[in-house]
Structure 1
Amino acid sequence: MERLDAIDAEIVRLLRLNARMSNAKLAEKVGLSASACLRRIRALEHRGVLRGYTAIVGHSSGEAAIAVIINITLEQQTEDVFKRFEEAVRSHPEIQECYLMTGDSDYLLRVEVENAAEFERIHTEILSMLPGVARIRSSFSIRNVLAARRRPAPRRRDG
């Protein structure tokens, strides 16, 4: 991916802090007209720099959901098996995150559940049915210590 210029980098930084910021406010903050700012946002989306917008949702019951971290090992590590697995994962909104990993497992997934029964349903109806799965290892969170933190700005190298 090509490097972002200073204005695009600032647009991305500001949207990471507040994706609901109006285009007019964003344009003002980066020193562009609203139409020029919107063109840059659309270009960033087209290039895949901005891949979507999301909301972090609290739980109305007052009880926090349980985060479950799932390590998946596939039967084979081929491009076709990876592709089929990833397409299947994308079709299940219950899976909030999925990462291709190095190390002992092939993928790390994150789901949030209200209780063990809900996880059992997800395990039975979704995880165990994903194509190419050889092993599933799940860990339940006890308490959320830190979440949804923005990535720090890269350090500048002088010299």
Structure 2
Amino acid sequence: MKSTTKFLDKSRPDDAGHVELDRTDKAILRALQKDASISNVALAAKVNLSAPACLRRVERLKSLGLIRGIVALLNAPALDAGMVVIIGVVLDRSTPESFAAFEKAAQNVSGCMECHVVTGEFDYFMMLRTRDSESFNRLHAEQLLYLPGVRQIRTFMVLKQVFSSTQIAI
């Protein structure tokens, strides 16, 4: 029995266009998540395809938006960004304008790697990397305090990263 998963086909304008992923597509995605620098020939051998067929599938997965890019995962501590800080943000107003202003400004915060709208006691969680507590204090005083519409900022300095993954379960 053939195992397939359906995903929205971004190349089609209507919501009815779904693409099915078979075992080979999933195997390609899993392999690329582990090592995106793998050669097409090695990837093809790993998923039991010819090199041209494998390349066509990878290009198709890219065109569907399932592969958004190929990146290098850097050693943050070696690049003076070893401290992870999670920041909970509460805005003073819950209006579309205040959310938009905050989101635009948050993209310019030094070291900010993620920003999420959340439910619960906070409006946003931000995750940033910085060198140490001194550099974070400077960032807090020079940038975070000036984000538009912020009523409260709560800071959580990560003491130990138990694990981190960039891989999505497929």
What is the letter of the counterpart of residue 25 of structure 1? A
Shift of residue 80, structure 1, vs aligned partner: 4.0
Q: Cα deviation per residue 1:65-92 (whole Å; 9 max; x = unaligned)?
A: 2211111122333444434433333344
The equivalent of 1:5 in structure 2 is 21
- Check if 1:114 corresponds to 2:135: no
Q: Which piece of structure 1 moves more, 37-46 or 70-79?
A: 37-46
**Aligned with 1:55 (options 69, 73, 86):** 73
Q: 1:109 Cα deviation (Å)?
A: 1.2
Measure how far apart 1:102 and its partner are: 1.5
* Counterpart code for 1:5: L
Deviation of the 1:93 alpha carbon: 5.3
2:84 to 67, 74, 93: 67
How many equivalent pairs are there? 152
What percentage of residue pairs aligned between the two structures are identical? 34
The two structures, once aligned, show a CA RMSD in angstroms of: 2.9
Q: Indicate the residue corresponding to 1:156 in structure 2.
A: none
What is the aligned partner in structure 2 of residue 90 from structure 1? 107
TM-superposed CA distance for 1:36, in Å, is 4.0
**Cα offset, 1:133, TM superposition:** 2.4
The more displaced of 44-53 and 4-13 is: 44-53
- CA distance in 2: counterparts of 1:122 and 1:38, whole angstroms: 44
Of residues 14, 33, 45, the one that matches 2:31 is 14
TM-score by length of structure 1 reads 0.74
> Hey, which bits of structure 1, 4+ residues long, moved more than 4 A?
none
Secondary structure class of the residue paired with 1:137: strand
Deviation at 1:50, TM superposition (A): 2.4
Q: Secondary structure at the match of 1:122?
A: helix
Residues 17-56 of structure 1 aligned to structure 2 (within 5 Å): 17-52=34-69, 53-56=71-74
Could you tell me how far 1:118 is from its partner in structure 2?
Answer: 0.6
Q: Residue 147 of structure 2 aligns with which residue?
A: 130
Q: What amino acid maps onto 1:101 in structure 2?
A: V
